[in-house]
Structure 1
């Protein structure tokens, strides 16, 4: 038996876990969840994920957990000796990693996820794009990436000089935006170098189009 990953094939959060599993060469079985049909809101599903969201994992011994970033941290820690370390052990390197992880969560994710919803997912679910909100999100994200360009001019990755989870966490939503023609990466040299680096990793190439 192998770890089971319950999620949606193109879900950003599901892919966040999958790329971590691939980085660590952890075999897993993907169990698709029918989001369109509402499977994630059924009692059987919420018994495992009380918020009715994807993904969650179940290991051979029955241990399970949800929240994509938490799962990724667990996998990185459990398989620390396999592949890239992803979470540094050195105190100061770990501090810079945590700084980078915080940057992703507070200065990146709210804006890229908001842009993805306004420019893609809202229409998919029959809603109407809020043009003013989309413009505001884009303006703020541009200013955030200007700061990224400064950071990445001083270090190779957002979490230090080695690849970490802080970098991998950026991949799913950034790729969604590129897929709908919103490219704010290539115009900033340090950001462009970093983005090309992390998106070219075999782990991401293996799952970027869905599970």
Structure 2
């Protein structure tokens, strides 16, 4: 008997493949509604009433329990089955499973997903952004490849949900990004991937793997050619007419009126007066020094900071009651930071998840160019999901409590209302 119904966009949808693999490995049957039509069924009031965002894969259990987001459903089915290894056999292995799920989703999946969106013209082209995304993706692949040099699986000695997610991301990446040259550079990826997809219960669920020889590169969208309008031939005049002025003749020969090139949009932050504080130097100092103590990054910050050119802000997520798993909240921070990519040259961030599963909050600090946070953070569509409060950490107006908060957020030992720092991310 099926444990529930799974709605999927198409048979080989990556998130759904992970769920179906877990179900197959644990011996759980799933129903697949034949009447479901993507972009139609999931937009109906009835569907949205059950799954608020209209996303698939989505799961509805026989007991009425409803869940969306692929990894959440896969973890639920694995836990419900009591399987001993899919979520990690020990507390330590479970933590490693969460670690690699989070890493795969944020460091690899998000970056390569955005590259693919740029190539498909779903995101306006920006050379700096594309280069950054590719660099971040390559760095993530290098980390995974190095780890796999001495590990058969990513999180433990046996197959876990983390492996299923990573394999699904690699499946898509092999088709457009991980070309022959990258497969040579990262030789453990293909070996690992083929090991995972050929496991019992997994084999046959993934679509046929396409190994691209040369990675796709950006090509501007083709411009639609406009048909030249045929002008009726004028009758031969009986008397010779005066020759048209040269300028008028040239204009008459133009197929289309000339359109001036759009000026490049300049960021108003570039017009701010120069500051003695160098944000890139601070990012290097923070990365290479101990955070606290003599000669540490915090001491460096106080020596160099220029409040005339930069400001410090506390950031708090507004909807903490919606947070569940710590790793999912950490993924949310990673997504927010990815969407701030357009402001990288003006911004540094240190944010974390405080608390435990089902009882957590997101908080942290931003150091940004100028005295107003909005011009820097509004590049992220979800910037209004966070509350911003300016912190006074230097100068005559320095506030001891605000300074303490700032330093703790940088050192990743921030604690709020008894909730301790559980996981964090930096925006550098």
Classify the TM-score, shorter chain. Answer: 0.7 to 0.9
1:34 aligned residue (29, 33, 37): 37
Distance 1:109 1:194 in 2: 17
Aligned equivalent of 1:118 = 118
CA distance in 2, matches of 1:185, 1:18: 28
Deviations 1:7-51 (A, max 9, x none): 11133222222222222232111226423x433222111111111
Do the aligned partners of residues 144 and 62 (structure 1) sit closer, same or farther apart at CA in structure 2, a change above 3 Å counting?
Answer: same
TM-superposed deviation, 1:72: 0.7
Deviation per CA, 1:116-173: give whole Å up to 9, x if none: 3334xx46xxx57736344432222111111112222233222122211111112223
- Please name the residue that 1:97 is paired with: 97
What residue is the counterpart of 2:62 in the other structure? 60
Q: Is the 8 A contact 2:117 2:123 kept in 1?
A: no
CA distance in 1, matches of 2:177, 2:96: 32
Q: In structure 2, do the counterparts of structure 1 residues 38 and 136 end up closer, same or farther at CA, with 3 Å as the change threshold?
A: farther
TM-score after normalising by structure 2: 0.43
Question: CA-to-partner distance for each residue in 1:72-105, whole Å, 9 max, x for gaps?
Answer: 1111111124xx7211231222222222222222
2:148 is equivalent to residue 146 of structure 1 = no
C-alpha distance in 2 between matches for 1:195 and 1:40? 32
Question: Any idea what SS the aligned residue of 1:195 has?
Answer: helix
Larger radius of gyration between Structure 1 and Structure 2: 2
Partner residue in 2 for 1:194? 192
Query: CA shift at 1:186, angstroms?
Result: 5.3
Give the conservation status (yes or no) of the 8 Å contact 2:51–2:66.
no
**Cα distance change of structure 1 residues 62 and 18 upon mapping to structure 2, 3 Å threshold:** same
Give the distance between the partners of 2:177 and 2:106, measured in 1 at CA. Answer: 23
Query: Please, which runs of 5 or more residues in structure 1 have no aligned partner?
Result: none
8 Å Cα contact 2:170-2:193 kept in structure 1: no
Cα distance between partner residues in 1 of 2:202 and 2:131:
29
- Residues 131-170 of structure 1: pairs in structure 2 closer than 5 A: 132=127, 133-170=129-166
Contact 1:13 1:172 in 2 (8 A): yes
Structure 2: gaps of 5 or more residues: 209-428
Counterpart Cα distance in 2 of 1:23 and 1:187 = 33
- The answer for the alignment partner of 2:374 in structure 1 is none
Aligned length: 202
Query: What RMSD over aligned residues (CA atoms) do the two structures have, in Å?
Result: 2.5
Q: Contact 2:5–2:60 at 8 Å: present in 1 too?
A: yes
Give the stretch that moved more between structures: 178-187 or 11-20.
Answer: 178-187
| Aligned-partner Cα distance in 2 for 1:26–1:116 | 34
CA distance in 1, matches of 2:170, 2:188: 16
2:125 corresponding residue in structure 1: 130
More helix, by proportion: 1
**Which structure is higher in strand share?**
2
Could you list the structure 1 runs, at least 4 aligned residues long, displaced by more than 6 angstroms after superposition.
none
What secondary structure is seen at the aligned counterpart in 1 of 2:59? strand
Q: Is residue 2:19 matched to residue 1:8?
A: no
Q: In the alignment, is the contact (CA less than 8 A) between 1:112 and 1:174 conserved in 2? A: no
The 3 A distance-change label for structure 1 pair 198 and 131 is farther
Secondary structure, counterpart of 1:205 in structure 2: coil
Q: Separation in 1 of the partners of 2:183 and 2:82?
A: 30
